[in-house]
Amino acid sequence: MLAKWATTLGGVMFFAAGAACAESTAGDGVRTAPARHGGGIWKAVVPPNAMHAEFGGHDPIGLASGAKIKADCSLNWTDPDTHKLYCFSSATSQSYFQDWPRRNIERAARAWHELAAGGS
C-alpha cells in the first residue's frame, strides 16, 4: 500500500500508511481503544539515497569511544553553522551528541584521524 503522506521530524522521515485511524469511544467521548483495521502505522525509514555524512557515515559518539559504528543515517543531525551532516546509530547516541555538539565533533574528528591512520 502506498503511503498517504509523509513528514520529517528531526531529520527522520515518517510515513503513515492507509486511511486515518478511527478510534472506539464510549458514549461520553472517552477513548477506549484504537480501531483494529484501516488505521495507519508510523515507521521511521532509512533514506533511499546514500547521504554524504561526515566521518564516512560512522556514529561520532562511537568514534569518540574508539569504535567504527556504521550508521544508516535514519537518525541524523545537520550542524546549523557548517551545514555538515552527522549520522547516528541510536537515538541515545544522537541525544548525547547534541548535549555538546562542538566538543563531540572535535573528539570524533581526532578519533577518525587516529583510526584512519591505524588502518582499522
Domains: count for the chain: 2
For the entire predicted model, the pTM comes to 0.60
pLDDT in the model for residue 98: 95
**Would 92 be classed as within a structural domain?**
yes
Report the alpha-carbon distance of residue 11 to residue 64 in Å, rounded: 22
Identify whether residues 39 and 63 lie together within a single domain.
no
**Would 65 be classed as within a structural domain?**
yes
The domain in which residue 102 lies consists of 54-118
Closest CA to 73 of 82, 84, 114: 84
| Residue 110 backbone dihedrals phi, psi, to 5 degrees | -60, -45
Closest CA to 16 of 3, 28, 26, 27: 3
pLDDT in the model for residue 33: 53
**What letter represents residue 4's amino acid?**
K
**Would 108 be classed as within a structural domain?**
yes
Identify whether residues 89 and 39 lie together within a single domain.
no
Give percent above pLDDT 90 in the chain. Answer: 49
**Would 49 be classed as within a structural domain?**
no
Identify whether residues 89 and 69 lie together within a single domain.
yes
Closest CA to 91 of 16, 11, 17, 6: 11
